[in-house]
């Protein structure tokens, strides 16, 4: 494998704005990719930059150019990144540490590769047959949102998603004495569990985003709530996954964004962290983020999303859990529980959790909610015409044991 490769670099501009650009092996900005990446905001640009650089390295290693590459070549490339094909298309250009991509990540690659060639065709020589194949007039539903978009012949087929729900026993084990060793960690796990907030949104919260009193002056929700705001200038690099517009009132009050209700336990754990751990290191804090390091070599520094994940790994070890707990597992648990408690009101769940379409909720959690069908299935089984089984063969469910 050649040492000379395309790479992605973070480029900082004035006003704390940053971009992710692709650089050539000669460390020059790759202008054709820049023309495409400029269309996107920072968070999306970062995802697409790393997706596109993988494809550019494949072109480089395999001696392909936009003028000679074919649709079949690109399909073999997509099979390679997903681990469906061995040989020169599957491993030669990738580092040994790079694992095959899942359907979601491969979908990002397919999207930016298509956009790259169609944009390049406007100014440079690109295989005309490839351009014609990528320009499809066939309209298909776009993702789980149901929006109509153009078909992408490179996109992998996505299997139906069935999120792995975090068991109650695991959550209880995390809150056992001595497992979460700081008030900050107790707050983090409480907020992840009760709100189902994404870890990027949690680490990106600033004090101005918290409206933890009833009838807050923002006037946008009567109950205590928070505003999840997508920002690209957080010192810890955390970004909330939201494109909702945010406004600031004349008095500095945050308005709009994704407005999420908070539980009483979320408020109490926040104040416990604030009084016991944040205030003692407040003189070292030079940012507006809520979550900060309270121990170690960098007290006061803003906590990163990687820091939260590492904290969960350590907590699981202390609790003796043989499972991998991720921040997003709490989101699946909270959303599925709210979906069931709301009598499967997908629109209400979508509004509360910040999804653009209720169909996304139905597609993602509708199948998981089937566990609530056991009540009705049991009634149907009890009404069967067949003779009952021997009593000693009957299964006793934990909730039936009283």
The answer to whether 285 and 206 have CB atoms below 8 angstroms apart is no
User: Can you tell me the mean pLDDT for 276-284?
Assistant: 95
Confidence of residue 144 (pLDDT cuts 50, 70, 90): very low
76-133 pLDDT tens trace: 899 888 887 654 444 467 777 788 888 888 889 999 999 999 999 998 898 999 999 9
The encoded tokens of residue 326 equal: 């991720």
Flag the least confident range among 3-12, 48-57, 183-192, 284-293: 3-12
Query: Quick one: pLDDT at residue 89?
Result: 47
Q: How confident is the model at residue 139 (pLDDT cuts 50, 70, 90)?
A: very low
Q: What is the mean pLDDT of the chain?
A: 86
pLDDT band at 367 (very low <50, low <70, confident <90, very high): low
pLDDT band for position 1 (cuts 50, 70, 90): very low
Could you tell me the domains of the chain? 7-150 (no CATH), 168-329 (1.10.443)
Does pLDDT of 41 surpass 80?
A: yes
Q: What is the pLDDT of residue 15?
A: 66
The whole-number pLDDT of residue 390 equals 66
Question: What would the mean pLDDT of 265-279 be, rounded to a whole number?
Answer: 96
Contact between residue 240 and residue 269 where contact means Cβ atoms under 8 Å apart: no
pTM of the model: 0.77
pLDDT at residue 379, rounded to an integer: 77
Region 37-65 average pLDDT: 91
Selection from 288, 131, 47 nearest residue 39 by Cα: 47
Tokens of 84: 């469906």
What is the rounded distance in angstroms from the CA atom of residue 142 to the CA atom of residue 159?
15
Helix (H, G, I), strand (E, B) or coil at 254: strand
In terms of average pLDDT, the best of 149-163, 276-290, 339-353 is 276-290
Query: Which one is predicted more confidently, 245 or 349?
Result: 349
Spatial neighbors of 241 by CB under 8 A, at least 6 apart, are 43, 198, 200, 201, 230
pLDDT above 90 as % of the chain: 54
For residue 380, what pLDDT band results from cuts at 50, 70 and 90? confident
Alpha-carbon separation of residue 214 from 55, 207, 255, 260 (angstroms): 51, 16, 15, 13
Q: Which of 42-56, 83-97, 190-204 has the highest mean pLDDT?
A: 190-204
**CA–CA dist 96, 77 (Å, integer):** 17
Quick one: pLDDT band at residue 137, thresholds 50, 70, 90? low
Q: Which residues pair with 7 in a beta bridge?
A: 23
Q: Minimum mean pLDDT among 127-141, 162-176, 285-299, 382-396: which range? A: 382-396
- Check pLDDT > 50 for residue 48: yes
pLDDT band at residue 159 using 50, 70 and 90 as cut-offs: low
Q: What is the CB neighbour count within 10 angstroms for residue 95?
A: 9
If you average pLDDT over residues 227-250, what whole number do you get?
A: 87
Q: Is 164 helix (H, G, I), strand (E, B) or coil?
A: coil
Question: How does pLDDT run across 288-344, given as a tens digit for each residue?
Answer: 999 999 998 999 999 999 999 999 999 999 999 999 999 999 999 999 999 988 888
Dihedral-angle region of residue 178 (phi above 0 means left; psi in -120 to 50 means alpha; beta otherwise): left
């Amino acid at each position: 494998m050649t040492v000379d490769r395309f790479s992605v670099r973070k480029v900082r501009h004035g006003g704390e704005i940053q971009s992710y650009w692709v650089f050539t092996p000669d460390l020059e900005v790759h202008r054709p990719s820049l023309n495409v990446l400029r269309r996107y905001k920072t968070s999306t640009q970062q995802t697409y930059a790393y997706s596109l650089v993988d494809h550019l390295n494949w072109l480089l290693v395999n001696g392909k150019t936009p003028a000679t590459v074919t649709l079949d070549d690109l399909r073999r490339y997509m099979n390679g990144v997903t681990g469906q094909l061995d040989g020169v298309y599957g491993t030669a250009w990738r580092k040994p540490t790079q694992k095959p991509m899942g359907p979601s990540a491969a979908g990002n690659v397919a999207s930016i590769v298509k956009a790259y060639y169609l944009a390049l065709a406007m100014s440079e020589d690109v295989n005309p047959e490839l351009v014609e194949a990528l320009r499809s007039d066939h309209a298909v539903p776009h993702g789980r949102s149901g929006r109509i978009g153009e078909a992408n012949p490179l996109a992998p087929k996505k299997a139906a998603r069935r999120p792995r729900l975090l068991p109650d026993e695991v959550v209880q084990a995390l809150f056992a004495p001595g497992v979460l060793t700081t008030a900050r960690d107790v707050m983090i796990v409480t907020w992840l569990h009760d709100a189902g907030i994404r870890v990027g949104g949690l680490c990106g919260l600033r004090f101005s985003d918290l409206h933890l009193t009833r009838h807050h002056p923002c006037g946008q929700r009567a109950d205590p709530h928070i505003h999840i705001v997508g920002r690209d200038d957080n010192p810890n690099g955390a970004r909330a996954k939201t494109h909702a517009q945010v406004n600031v009132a004349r008095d500095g009050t945050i308005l709009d964004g994704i407005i999420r209700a908070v539980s009483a336990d979320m408020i109490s754990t926040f104040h416990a962290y604030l009084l016991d751990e944040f205030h003692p290191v407040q003189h070292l804090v030079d940012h507006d983020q809520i979550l900060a390091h309270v121990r170690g070599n960098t007290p006061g520094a803003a906590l990163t999303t990687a820091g939260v994940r590492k904290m969960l790994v350590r907590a699981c070890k202390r609790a003796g859990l043989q499972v991998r707990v991720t921040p997003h597992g709490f989101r699946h648990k909270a959303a599925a529980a709210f979906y069931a408690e709301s009598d499967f009101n997908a629109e209400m769940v979508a509004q509360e959790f910040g999804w653009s379409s209720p169909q996304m909720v139905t597609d993602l959690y509708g199948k998981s909610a089937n566990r609530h069908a056991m009540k009705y299935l049991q009634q149907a089984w009890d009404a069967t015409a067949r003779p009952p089984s021997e009593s000693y063969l009957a299964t006793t469910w934990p909730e039936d044991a009283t």
